[in-house]
Structure formats: structure tokens, C-alpha cells
Amino acid sequence: MNELNQTQLLELVNTKQIAEGNPRARALTQRIVTDLFKTIDEMDVTPDEFWKAVDWLTRLGQTGQFGLITAGLGFDRLLDIRLDEADEKAGRAAGTPRAIEGPLFVAGAPTTQLETRLDEGEPKGEIFVMQGQVLDTDGQPVANAMVDVWHANEVGGYSHFFPGMKPYELRRRIETDAQGHYRFRSFLPPGYGIPPNSPTAELFEALGRHGKRPAHIHFLVAAPGLRTLTTQVNIPGDTYIDDDFAFATRDGLIIELEKDVAPAGYESLGITAPFT
Ligand code: MBD
Ligand code: FE
């Protein structure tokens, strides 16, 4: 009954060309449009439903939330799965697992060498230091690698997206030293939730899904001649640690917090005994 006539379909999709255009864009558009035509036909989408969807997409664009939707519907994770598969096929060594960048990265954060502080003023959460070494997949230290770090504020907001925050607040870049070392101080952020009363929230309510991410910190690690690593670490103990709406938590990325460690050597990050 709901079989789109093949000739009708081809007429709509195989449009006349007045120029070569971009063959890839043309092929992808034709495929996506064909699939959507079939969906509308087979699922008996009414004009009312269709125009509601158009209105929703318009508002989604106006609020700049399309990237939240791609993350929440699993597209960002799909791209990571495909990159993992390509690595495996090519026999490339797996290092720290990748995790999605998400829609809230901002390039160009302030840069310092070896160490930085993301927190300012009164503590907004539990203060911690994270330190590490950037290694290539042969285990060799990467000098002068650029480590971008960003995370949410005490209410789960990200600067440049959440009102009232300073430019690049809770966003920093650290250039590793000759041995690939980096370290930074901040406070443990809470989890993230999609903005209420937004087009994104409307969809997730309609799907009967929550829009929560467990507490996490983002990283983007880049060095000349090496592939860039985009990843995140998760803070243990979060309710949503195995139920991330953006499908970005992964085994091997949940950090262990060492409490009450000897505080010596962190004076430059404003930490003097006792570490609290
Ligand atoms: C986030 O903080 C995030 O990291 C992702 C992937 C999606 C939405 C909010
Ligand atoms: Fe995030």
C-alpha cells in the first residue's frame, strides 16, 4: 500500500544538473533523501508531523544545539567506533581509548608549559591535581605536545555556551615538557545535563530518555606528525557512569582518585600541605 512508485522516487531524487556540483554531496544527499522519503511513506508520516519536525529542526539550529543531538543519538560514538575499527584493521597500536569531542570544545584556550590551573578563586568543588605523560604508541615521550583540557563548572555549564561564564573559563592548553609531562589543578566537576526547555530536551522527553552525562573532563592531545587523540576521563562514583546519554564513557577512562597523598612539589599550583 505504502510503496513509493520507483519512477516517482527517481524523478524527485535524480534532479537535472546545471553544473557538475560536488558528486559526493550529490550522492549523499540523494541517499539520505531517498531514505527519508521511504521513512515518511512506510511510517505514514502526516503533513502535521512533518511540519512539526521542520519547526523543531529550525529551532534546533537557532539554539545551536545540533551537536547535542548528534551526540545523544549516538552519531559521535559511531564515528569513534569506525575510527577504532580502522585502527584495528590497519594494525595500529591502541593507546589511551578515544572518546568523543562533543559539541562544547572551543579552540584557542590560553597556553602554558608543563602545568596550569583551571580553577580560580574560591574552591567550586573538590580540588585535585592530575598529572601524566604523553607517550606515542611506541611508548616514547612526546615533547611539546599540546594538551587541551576543558570541563564543566560547578553547575555543569561550559564557558562560551553557558551564560555568565568568562571566555575560556575552565579551558586551558598545556604544552608538555621534554619528557612529555603535563599537570594541572582544578576542581572535580559535576555531571552535565541538556538544557531544560530546549529543542534537545523536547526530543529526549519524547523518547523517554534522560539527557545526563556523568562527571567527566575532556582532553585533546596533539603533536606535529602524530595523530591527534580526543578523549575524556570519568570521575568515579557518578550515578550515570554506565548510562551516559552521549555514549562516551569507556572502560579504561575511569580515573582513580588518590586521596590524602603527600602534597610536596605542588607549591607552584598553589597547593601546600595538607592536600585538601
Ligand atoms: C557534554 O559535556 C559533552 O561532553 C557531550 C559529549 C555532549 C553534551 C555535553
Ligand atoms: Fe563534556
The arrangement of secondary structure in 72-269, i.e. its CATH architecture, is: Sandwich (2.60)
- Say if ligand 1 is within 6 A of residue 248 CB: yes
Residue owning the nearest CA to atom 7 of ligand 1 = 102
Report the chain's C-alpha Rg in angstroms.
23
Ligand at shortest distance from the CA of 80: 1
**What average pLDDT does the segment 86-108 reach?**
95
pLDDT digits (tens, 9 = 90+) for 212-249: 999 999 999 999 999 999 999 999 999 999 999 999 99
What is the atom index within ligand 1 of the atom nearest the CA of 232?
A: 4
Residue 251 — pLDDT band, cuts 50, 70, 90? confident
Residue owning the nearest CA to atom 6 of ligand 1 = 102
Pick from 176, 165, 174, 172: nearest CA to 110: 172
Q: What is the DSSP string of 71-125?
A: HHTTHHHHHHHHHHHHHHHTTPPP-SPP----TT--S---EEESEEE---SS-SS
- Say if ligand 1 is within 6 A of residue 71 CB: yes
Q: What is the ipTM for the molecules in this complex?
A: 0.97
Residue owning the nearest CA to atom 5 of ligand 1 = 102
Residue 262 — pLDDT band, cuts 50, 70, 90? low
Each domain of the chain, given as residue ranges in start order, spans: 1-45, 72-269
- Say if ligand 1 is within 6 A of residue 68 CB: yes
Lowest mean per-residue pLDDT among 6-15, 62-71, 107-116, 213-222: 6-15
- Say if ligand 1 is within 6 A of residue 204 CB: no
Residue 264 — pLDDT band, cuts 50, 70, 90? confident
Question: Which pLDDT does position 252 carry in this prediction?
Answer: 92
pLDDT digits (tens, 9 = 90+) for 61-84: 999 999 999 999 999 999 999 999
What is the atom index within ligand 1 of the atom nearest the CA of 102?
A: 6
Residue 8 — pLDDT band, cuts 50, 70, 90? confident
Q: What share of the chain is helix, strand, coil (3-state, %, to 5)?
A: 30, 20, 55
